Chains A and B, each alone.
Chain A
């Protein structure tokens, strides 16, 4: 016994070293971002609080650019609105407004506005922290967009803060298609350039040209169909001859993310409910 204690004391440094290395490796090889504990991420109370403080100061820096982008988007929406109004008027005239029952417009998607308080673009696996959490109605696996395009998906939700998996994270695959074409592939970042992602597994027969817009396919419940994601800038060589891989220049400027919108969707809730119901049925049988 005495010898054992002597041995332990003599080589205690090695044991301490091995203990910390093993502990770090356990964290390191826990690759699935959905299993991270909230206190180990930037959505924790203290960490997010500190980021929130520094965000209060730095958020003023990019206001000019953000404002311009919003103006552009506003103008586009106004045009769209005018077009819609004109069309509505046309229909009203055609069907005699007084006999038509006005139905509540179908609004399956709602937006929650949030500010980005921490963000990175140069790491192999990037995450974003925002200042809205469960109290504001945010749930895991909600999609997030900004005024230009897709940003990411909600991953870990705290009371007042949540962490997103950025589109610049190889753990996140997004179902996308080239506009005007129904064949879909999955968009994934390859860890190199924060402005370029790859659209993989696109069927060989898909017709595309450089400069085409890539939009979301709507097959995942997180994003509605037709949100612009990026622009086709070329193709990559692939080993597998049956599929194309396209290089896509992303529309979202991740280095200047400021205000984002979290998509809260009733559809995704109902889809998930159906899916869990089906799974439960399976489990029963």
Chain B
């Protein structure tokens, strides 16, 4: 238990640093921004209590907000994402107790379910974030392109990170 907690704290720090130092400065074609730090929320164990998931999500969003001067945008989107995470997973994988490990991954959920899960989470987050961001400067077409391209980019990067880390873990076993 302590080992997993430590792993998540490490992942938290790495994700925040990666997002604010590298990914925040990427903006493909003026539209696509990778919001990769939600990888942490994706990876939280299913068995974790919802209150704790909400707290971690909120703190993660707040940290990103402080770094990128976005005052509450990420914390609001992250909190909502933390609440929606379990229902989304249940949509594709109704039998939680059949998972081999409580942590969602390629192995515990199976390829197609996991891909669908990650894609849905990315889509929800990008939609929430860009919708909150464009409250005052509303431009529907631009908003839709932003959401679609950012979702795709986020999804691809998260899957890439995941395949890298999981391969390493399998070798170790």
Residues of chain A at the chain B interface (Cβ within 8 Å): 12-13, 16-17, 20-21, 23-30, 36, 39-42, 44, 47, 50-51, 54, 120-125, 127, 163, 170, 190-193
Contacts and interface: CB of A to CB of B under 8 A. Distances in A.
B136 A124 contact: yes
A191 B137 contact: yes
The CB with the most chain A CB atoms within 10 A, among B71, B132, B134, B142, is that of B71
14 contacts: A17-B54, A24-B61, A24-B75, A25-B72, A26-B72, A40-B65, A41-B66, A42-B68, A42-B69, A121-B27, A123-B133, A124-B133, A127-B69, A192-B142
Interface string B102-142: 00000000000000000000000000000011101101001
B51 A16 contact: yes
A20 B20 contact: no
B67 interface: yes
Given A27-B65, A120-B24, A122-B27, A50 B71 contact: no
B47 interface: no
The CB with the most chain B CB atoms within 10 A, among A40, A122, A170, A190, is that of A122
A23 B71 CA distance: 11
Contacts of B21: 50-51, 54
Nearest first, the 6 closest Cβ-Cβ pairs linking A and B are A27-B72, A28-B72, A24-B76, A127-B69, A24-B75, A122-B27
Given A122-B27, A124-B133, A124-B134, A42 B66 contact: yes
B30 A24 contact: no
B73 interface: yes
B55 interface: yes
Nearest to B132: A28
Contacts of A41: 66, 69
A24 B79 contact: yes
A47 B65 CA distance: 11
A71 B40 CA distance: 47
B22 to A, nearest CB: 9
Given A23-B75, A24-B76, 14 more contacts: A27-B72, A28-B132, A30-B71, A36-B71, A39-B66, A42-B66, A47-B67, A54-B21, A120-B69, A121-B27, A122-B27, A124-B134, A190-B137, A193-B30
A91 B134 CA distance: 58
Contacts of A47: 66-67
A269 to B, nearest CB: 27
A39 B66 CA distance: 8
A51 B28 CA distance: 22
B149 to A, nearest CB: 12
B89 interface: no
A97 B27 CA distance: 60
Contacts of A28: 71-73, 76, 132
B75 A27 contact: yes
A84 B112 CA distance: 74
B72 A17 contact: no
A30 B30 CA distance: 27
